[in-house]
Every structure is written in structure tokens, then in C-alpha cells.
Amino acid sequence: MKRLIAVAVCLVLLCGCAEAAVPQSGNYYAEGDYEPYMRPYVYIGMEDGSFVTGAGSVISYAEVGTFTVDGDELTANTLSCRFVFEIEDETTIILEEFSSNTPYAMQEGMTFVLSRELQ
């Protein structure tokens, strides 16, 4: 009986200590149907905390700023926007909150997936 209790306590401790996923550095592209090179993107630089997002690879306007990770949330701030993403796993983030004082807009709920290819 003591052995069973000890195993149960170890399992609870191990499950409670699981680390949150940390996104990889790189370009994350929105899932969905988009024209070539018009897919919204997010760049995350884990080494220096850099953040860039835009409406497509061929669009010159981009929001540039920095981000922090707290648990399973990535929060990015630029001069005119604030983004809060849920980190689903190390290659997928989901936009939970977006606020801006410019015409630039992103839809909450958008899913972004890491890709090594320009889209």
C-alpha cells in the first residue's frame, strides 16, 4: 500500500512539473486560403526577443517590436499594437487577443504554424 501511495505521489509531482512549450525561432504563417505571398506572418526571434508581423511577404508594412513568454502565453508589443498568443506547441501559436490604434488588423483565433519556406 505504501508503495502504491509513493508511486501516486511521484506521478502527481511529475505531471505538475511539466514545462510549458516554448516556440521555436522563425517565421510562422497563418493557416487558411491566401494568395501566394499574401499569407499573414509572424516572426519570433527567441534569441533576442524580436517580433515582426505583417499581412504578407510582399507587403512592405510590418509591425516590429518585442515579446515575452509567460507560461503558455506569448505577448508581443509594437509601437501601435499588442498581440497575445496561446502557445499550442513549439511550432504553433494562436492569436487570442489583438489591439491596435492603426488600420492594421488581425483576426483573433488565427492559427500560425512555423515554416522554413517563404509563403
Q: What is the pLDDT of residues 6-45, one digit of tens each?
A: 444 444 444 545 567 899 999 999 999 999 899 999 999 9
Gap between the Cα atoms of 119 and 110, Å rounded: 16
Q: What is the pLDDT of residue 102?
A: 80
Strands 81-89 and 50-54: unpaired
Query: What integer is the mean pLDDT of 98-112?
Result: 89
- pTM, to two decimals: 0.80
Q: Quote the pLDDT of residue 116.
A: 82
pLDDT for 45-73, tens place per residue?
Answer: 999 999 999 999 899 999 999 999 999 99
Q: Which amino acid type is present at position 9?
A: V
Give the chain's domains with CATH numbers.
21-115 (2.40.128)
Instruction: Give the integer Cα–Cα distance in Å for 65 and 97.
Output: 16
